[in-house]
Amino acid sequence: MRAFVYERASSEAAAIHAASMLAQSPEAQGRPPVEYLAGGTTLVDLMKLDVMRPAKVVDLGALAGVHDVISVAPGGVRLGAMVKMSAAADHPEIVKNYPVVAQSLQLAASAQLRNMATLGGNVLQRTRCPYFRDTSWIACNKRDPGSGCAAMDGLNRQHAILGGSPDCIATYPGDFAQSLIALDATVSVAGASGFRTIPFAGLHRLPGATPNAETVLAPGDLITGFNVPAGPWTRRSLYLKVRDRQSYEFALASAAVAIDMVGSKVREARIALGGVATIPWRSREAEDTLAGKILTETVAEAAARAAFADARPRAHNAFKIALGQSTLVRALLQAAELEG
């Protein structure tokens, strides 16, 4: 691992100051200036692989007491950025009233990782593209802009069929993000110029010509929490994840669904897809197909076809179209059976 400066921030303001100052300093030249350290389960992993090379690491551990709170109110739930994945996954109110959120966390990683990893770090985890994680591959535009993309004509079974560009087809790997985007959550951000709230759907950027720029966050921006609004669809919601093995594995395809129904008719549906796209992926096409319809298998299949109409497979990942469609159909039909 390369040498780096370690600093333990004593307050939120100190963390932002440490991160923002370095971003403008000559010390940072040629290296990404600073990374926050939360649970470290992505960051330390990638530093050891020499994929992430921050000049400075600012430890957020001392902020845990401020930002590890879960507050539930009639209008929604607030999840602090330092909340551990396991704490949110097992919270009784979230399990009962926001099952898609709880399940997206329960089905992620392993118990040990969930006890260590935070929600803020989770949404900013990096892709599992093997060419990104192995520096012996020269061509990776995400790791080294302008170097090319080894996955495009390489082994791309895991890669994205939605939201890709000629420069990158890496899949966004997380699960929790799908539940946030489906439920119209927002993200609270503190930065050098103050506080702001952004829609979760606006946090991640499509790869386009700059796959290295993954989010709209500026250097030093600190995620402080997530707000998930309550809606008539939140209780009838679930997360379905399909992977190569039953546990401790990333999604090949997943679906986060939340449905407001009157009898067997869909009033409004919220749908997000994981494992198949370059960013957390909301499928408005599938939602529009379902609105106002009786939720039969035929209607669910039509919604699934709409969700993948723009899919662009490469040599080894065309199977994800059928897999993603059947995952969504199963998720919709299971959700229809739930109590609203």
Binding interface with ligand FAD (CB under 6 A)? 35-43, 45, 81, 85, 108-109, 113, 117-118, 120-122, 124-125, 174-176, 222-223, 250
What are the DSSP E strand ranges found in the chain?
Answer: 5-8, 34-37, 56-59, 70-73, 76-80, 186-191, 194-199, 222-229, 237-242, 253-262, 265-274, 281-282
158 binds ligand SF4 (CB under 6 A): no
The entry of ligand SF4, ligand FAD, none that residue 117 binds, CB within 5 to 8 Å by partner kind = ligand FAD
**What is the length of the chain?**
340
Nearest distance in Å: CB 88, ligand FAD: 11
**76 or 207: CB nearest ligand SF4:** 207
User: Quick one: which of 121, 211, 280, 324 contacts ligand SF4 (CB under 6 A)?
Assistant: 211
Residues 203, 84: Cα–Cα separation, whole Å: 20
Long-range contacts of 268-271, Cβ-Cβ distance < 8 Å, separation of 24 or more: 268/232, 268/233, 269/233, 269/303, 269/332, 270/182, 270/183, 270/184, 270/231, 270/233, 270/237, 271/182, 271/303, 271/307, 271/328
DSSP string, 16-49: HHHHHHHHTSGGGTTS--EEEESS-TTHHHHHHT
User: Quick one: which of 81, 119, 169, 332 contacts ligand SF4 (CB under 6 A)?
Assistant: 169
Which range binds ligand SF4 by CB under 6 A, 11-19, 29-37, 129-137, 193-201? 129-137
**106 or 141: CB nearest ligand FAD:** 106
162 binds ligand SF4 (CB under 6 A): no
Cβ-closest residue to ligand FAD? 121
**218 or 309: CB nearest ligand FAD:** 218
Residues of this chain that bind ligand SF4 (CB under 6 A): 127, 129, 131-132, 140-142, 149-151, 168-170, 211
